[in-house]
């Protein structure tokens, strides 16, 4: 039986420039399900991205900006995007040249499908 997140992850991984997509437990930073290209360390990405997302959410709350809906980290060799719902975070790792607007749209659609 396939994971309930398989179709969500497939739709994200189909986007050009996406190297990995993961559903991660926000509190534990543990991978719930993932779709990874060869060479991607899912556990590492999950732990760090969930930690970043949690802190971004807390920071947004502390700054009275309301709840955080989307986080985007741009680095020299790639990008990390995260969006969460309840206790789950959807994480995407993409190439620097990936179309982040398109990825964001797909992620926000996918987040709505998370339980």
Partner 1 sequence: MSVTAVESWVEAPLRKFVEDARTVLALLLHPSGQVVAQSGFARAIDVMSACALAAAINASAGELGRQLDGRPFRGLHHAGRDRQLYLADAPTPRGSFIVLTVFDQESSLGLVRLYFEEFIRNLAAAAPTSPRPVEPVLEQHFEQDLNKNLATLFGRG
Bridge partners (DSSP) listed for residue 20: 36, 93
Kindly state the helix (H) or strand (E) to which residue 66 belongs, with its residue range. none
Provide the 3-class DSSP secondary structure of residue 26. coil
Distance CA(16)–CA(4), nearest Å, equals: 23
20 binds partner 1 (CB under 8 A): no
Nearer to partner 1, 10 or 87 (CB): 87
Taking residues 58 to 97 in sequence order and writing x for each that binds partner 1 by CB under 8 A, - otherwise, the string is ----------------------------------------
29 binds partner 1 (CB under 8 A): yes
CB of 114 to partner 1, least distance (A): 18
Distance CA(76)–CA(55), nearest Å, equals: 22
Distance CA(20)–CA(10), nearest Å, equals: 10
Distance CA(13)–CA(20), nearest Å, equals: 6
Q: Which of 54, 71, 82, 110 binds partner 1 (CB under 8 A)?
A: 54
Instruction: Identify which range of 10-18, 21-29, 69-77, 79-87 contacts partner 1 by CB under 8 A.
Output: 21-29
Contact residues: partner 1, CB under 8 A: 24-25, 27-30, 43-44, 46-48, 50-51, 54
């Amino acid at each position: 039986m396939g994971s309930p997140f398989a179709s969500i992850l497939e739709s994200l991984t189909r986007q050009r420039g996406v190297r990995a997509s993961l559903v991660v437990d926000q509190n534990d930073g543990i991978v719930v399900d993932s779709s990874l290209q060869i060479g991607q360390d899912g556990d590492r990405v999950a732990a760090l991205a969930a930690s970043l997302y949690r802190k971004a959410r807390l920071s947004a709350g502390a700054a009275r900006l309301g709840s955080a809906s989307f986080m985007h980290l741009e680095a020299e060799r790639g990008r990390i995007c995260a969006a969460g719902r309840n206790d789950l975070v959807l994480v995407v790792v993409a190439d620097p040249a990936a179309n982040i607007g398109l990825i964001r749209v797909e992620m926000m659609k996918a987040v709505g499908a998370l339980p």
